[in-house]
Structure 1
Amino acid sequence: MTGNPLFLLRSARGYIAATAGVAGLSLLSEPLAGRVDAANVVMLYLLLVVGVALLSSRGAAAWCALCGVLAFDVFHVPPRLSLRVGDMQYLVTFVVMLLVGLLLAHLTARLRAQAAAAAAEEEAVRHQYGLARELAGCIEVAQVCEAVDAFVRRECSGHARIWWLGRDEVLQALGPDGAEEVRRTLVEVALAEGHTREMPDPADPGGRLLMLVLEAPRRRRGVLLLEIPVVRAERLSRSRAEALALLVATALERLHYVGVAQQATVEMERERLRSTLLAALSHDIRTPLTVLVGQADALYENEARGMPVSRLAAAMREQAMHMSELVDNLLDMARLQSGRLQLRRDWQSVEEIVGAATAHLEVRLQQHCLRIELPSDLPLLEFDAVLIERVLCNLLENAAKYSPPGSTVHLRARLLPGMLQLMVEDDGPGLSAQALQHLFEPFQRGETAGSVPGLGLGLSICRLIVEAHGGQLTAANRVEGGVCFAFTLPLSAQPALAPEPEDV
């Protein structure tokens, strides 16, 4: 440090300023010689020593005290303008003046150093508080690693590595960098000993390793390894490093228990969904099974008596189809929620999909008037035809279920910027605000469902299918009554049509 040119320049300035201050004070106080008591003049020189000690170094203040004694002897002690002392009693004054000056220089310099240390400590505490706030907002382990490493880089140009005991009780290095066997051994020793270790860095002669045990509330969970250059080691004190380790341990332990709580919540939700599913199955499948058994018995008796059985066979087929739809809905919901559904996109005509859906529901829409309004200039869209037909069928069937017989079901389409919107409107009783809020959740049904069969999965499946295509499904009450379901499909650049072969 003493070989630093900047340090030497600052020290030289302090000595020059002290010399100049003593000379200036001597010239200013020279007219006071013989008119003012010498003890009062001594106070002026001691005041100058205090000022130099506050503004410069301790050495410059000591030099100022020595120069002040000599200047006082020359300008204020007879014979003046000479180093000779006429009265030997002034020798005591000189010694006391020098000692008091040196003491003031020492005390003032120490006070200044303590003030600087307090300011540096306040700055360090503010930085550590900022890190604590940043760690409190971390939601992933990687974010904790990045925040701690960035903090150590800012403070002392070092690096931080977190070694953590996972659920399998294996010590592993967190973060992007791989583990080194040498450091693993050192970290394992520090974890076993349970206290802070400091040693030279085997991989870097100019660095030091500081290993701090991460003490969680229940047990030791890992080690914080700090790689700090020796020249910057004083920037991060042992107490600050231990406080940093406590912050890291608290943040990682919080994330650990958040993960445990989330896992428990998932398990509880899975169990609740399983219970709901079983309850729904036991209710909605038992009914068609009972009907099927009863109709099968009646079919057997009618056939034995030679009576017509076509109506019974049709009713049995209807119940079997209903059961098949229930099972299909459950399987589709499981596939969509697991993310394993593969879309078979292809360029399709909206008119053809609408025609296929209405043909499939011809029997179920017999008691309603279906009005279809499609623009004549609809472009081709790229989507999975089977799934989008499934969405239209579900929406149209819902409109028929919850509308009174003889009412009109509207199917409209319109072009919006960058997308096509399809709307299915009914003349039913509508839905409350609470029902609209939860309408697309699994196993949710409207207040007017009553005896209408179903599990409440159709709209959930429709929403997942539409979102998988990049669209959105919404529901809203109509002003004239009923509900309007609308979903969008994104428009894409139209495919190039193959040229027609020329006639020979």
Structure 2
Amino acid sequence: MVSVTPGRCPDMDMWIWAVGAAAVAVTVTVLAAGVIFWQRRKTRRIMDSLNTMLDRAIEGSFTETAFDESLLSATEAKMARFLGVCQVSSQSLAAEKDKIKGLIADISHQTKTPIANLLLYSQLLEEHKLPEEGALCVKALSAQAQKLDFLIGALVKASRLETGIIAVTPRQGEVQALIEAALASIRLKAEEKGIRIEAEKAAGRAYYDPKWTAEALYNILDNGVKYSPPQSLIRIRTISYELFYRIDISDEGMGITEAEQSQIFARFYRSPAVSRQEGVGLGLFLTREILAAGGGYIKVSSKPGQGAVFSVFLPTEKTLKSYKTVRSEKE
């Protein structure tokens, strides 16, 4: 049996309860929506503030403002202090870079004349009839002066590349013209050692700096001539890809161990196997820096006793645009 309270309808009670529950639910929903909306607005305000600070820091016009004691504002304050420190560090770095530029300029200027005089006087002495012992000393003096001239020149080039004094400016050009420029510089040295250089006709265009990229290829060829036996062969092959133009330079030299392949591009690195030969360990370092500055790169494949293949990758127009975009964002 169902008990019914006199004057009270069960359906009416259920309806009142449902209405009450719905009202509570609506109220809770509205309050929750309000809290969420308020929280999002607050978060948005903080993100806008952080974004503005970062924009001003990038533009160099950042200034710290006052904040309240909330957790998010504390984060703003920490960001402000961090950006302030970064700005000071950036200014110090710029000042240090200017000092390095000045030092490089001084070294280049102060050493140019003495080295030129050493070379000149040694050449003049070689033209005179000297005792055998004197002639040997003059020859040694001339060789050491030339080595010093090369070393100072390489150091100045490396420093200028690293500090941005030398600008590598890629522009589109025929790859064949680039290879011919490098060959013109190395051909005499190769002929003196009886080494043949076989270069296939390169079809296609890529982006490179005519002067500096030709020097990068020359450094690779120079190593091939220096560390290959007489009467050996150096081959130059080219492959055109969509994103890069590849130039392979292979030699028949002593080869490079796997452990050393990641070290040969480091500044001043010289393998113990070639320690008795002339060199300062800057050629491949300069090559890598030049190619990287122009949006390209270099890799090596080799096994001891089986020669080496240096692969140079020059950017195409599509790759160069992407490289410039990424570089400008970093700067």
Q: Normalising by structure 1, what TM-score?
A: 0.44
Shift of 1:452: 4.0
Are 1:341 and 2:309 counterparts?
A: no
In 2 relative to 1, CA 371–407 (structure 1 residues): closer, same or farther, beyond 3 Å?
closer
Question: Who is 1:54 aligned against?
Answer: 21
Question: Who is 2:219 aligned against?
Answer: 394
Q: Deviations over 1:176-211 (max 9, x none)?
A: xxxxxxxxxxxxxxx5xxxxxxxxxxxxxxxxxxxx
In 2 relative to 1, CA 312–440 (structure 1 residues): closer, same or farther, beyond 3 Å?
same
Question: Who is 1:439 aligned against?
Answer: 264
Are 1:142 and 2:55 counterparts?
A: yes
Equivalent of 1:413 in 228, 232, 237? 237
**Structure-2 separation of matches of 1:337 and 1:139:** 32
**Structure-1 separation of matches of 2:62 and 2:202:** 62
1:208-227 alignment, distance < 5 Å:
213=67
SS in 1 for 2:264: coil
**Structure-2 separation of matches of 1:415 and 1:455:** 31
Equivalent of 1:361 in 161, 182, 189? 189
1:28-43 alignment, distance < 5 Å:
36-38=4-6, 41=8
Instruction: Supply the RMSD in Å over aligned alpha carbons.
Output: 5.0
Equivalent of 1:324 in 110, 129, 149? 149
In 2 relative to 1, CA 165–417 (structure 1 residues): closer, same or farther, beyond 3 Å?
closer
Shift of 1:330: 1.4
Segment drifting more, 325-334 vs 390-399: 390-399
- Whether the aligned pair in 1 keeps the contact of 2:267 and 2:285 (CA below 8 Å) is yes
SS in 2 for 1:361: helix
Shift of 1:244: 4.7
Shift of 1:324: 0.9
Shift of 1:463: 1.9
- Whether the aligned pair in 2 keeps the contact of 1:144 and 1:252 (CA below 8 Å) is no
Shift of 1:487: 1.5
1:443-462 alignment, distance < 5 Å:
443-462=268-287
Shift of 1:425: 2.2
Shift of 1:342: 5.5
**Structure-1 separation of matches of 2:140 and 2:29:** 94
In 2 relative to 1, CA 334–451 (structure 1 residues): closer, same or farther, beyond 3 Å?
same
- Whether the aligned pair in 1 keeps the contact of 2:235 and 2:249 (CA below 8 Å) is yes
Are 1:113 and 2:81 counterparts?
A: no
Question: Who is 1:165 aligned against?
Answer: 63
Question: Who is 2:249 aligned against?
Answer: 423
Segment drifting more, 345-354 vs 245-254: 345-354
Shift of 1:415: 3.6
Residue type of the alignment partner of 1:38: P
- Whether the aligned pair in 1 keeps the contact of 2:233 and 2:252 (CA below 8 Å) is yes
SS in 1 for 2:261: helix
Shift of 1:412: 1.5
Are 1:249 and 2:249 counterparts?
A: no
In 2 relative to 1, CA 144–481 (structure 1 residues): closer, same or farther, beyond 3 Å?
same
Q: Deviations over 1:89-147 (max 9, x none)?
A: xxxxxxxxxxxxxxxxxxxx5x8635642454356557867998x79x989702999xx
| Identical-residue share of aligned pairs (%) | 20
Residue type of the alignment partner of 1:414: T
Shift of 1:254: 4.3
**Structure-2 separation of matches of 1:327 and 1:336:** 14
Structure 2 unaligned residues grouped into runs of 5+: 101-106, 318-331
1:145-294 alignment, distance < 5 Å:
165=63, 191=66, 213=67, 242=70, 244-257=72-85
Are 1:463 and 2:288 counterparts?
A: yes
Shift of 1:325: 1.0
In 2 relative to 1, CA 42–259 (structure 1 residues): closer, same or farther, beyond 3 Å?
farther
**Structure-2 separation of matches of 1:139 and 1:432:** 49
SS in 1 for 2:195: strand
Q: Deviations over 1:290-328 (max 9, x none)?
A: xx9xxx8xx89xx8x951444433332221111111111
In 2 relative to 1, CA 123–378 (structure 1 residues): closer, same or farther, beyond 3 Å?
closer
Q: What is the aligned residue count?
A: 287
In 2 relative to 1, CA 314–356 (structure 1 residues): closer, same or farther, beyond 3 Å?
farther
Q: Deviations over 1:140-163 (max 9, x none)?
A: 702999xxxxxxxxxxxxxxxxx9
SS in 2 for 1:372: strand
SS in 2 for 1:330: helix
Residue type of the alignment partner of 2:27: A
Residue type of the alignment partner of 1:411: R
Shift of 1:331: 1.5
**Structure-2 separation of matches of 1:164 and 1:387:** 38
Residue type of the alignment partner of 2:6: A
SS in 2 for 1:396: helix
**Structure-1 separation of matches of 2:15 and 2:207:** 88
**Structure-2 separation of matches of 1:453 and 1:329:** 14
Residue type of the alignment partner of 1:165: T
**Structure-2 separation of matches of 1:487 and 1:139:** 42
**Structure-1 separation of matches of 2:88 and 2:167:** 29
The structure whose Rg is larger is: 1
- Whether the aligned pair in 2 keeps the contact of 1:473 and 1:486 (CA below 8 Å) is yes
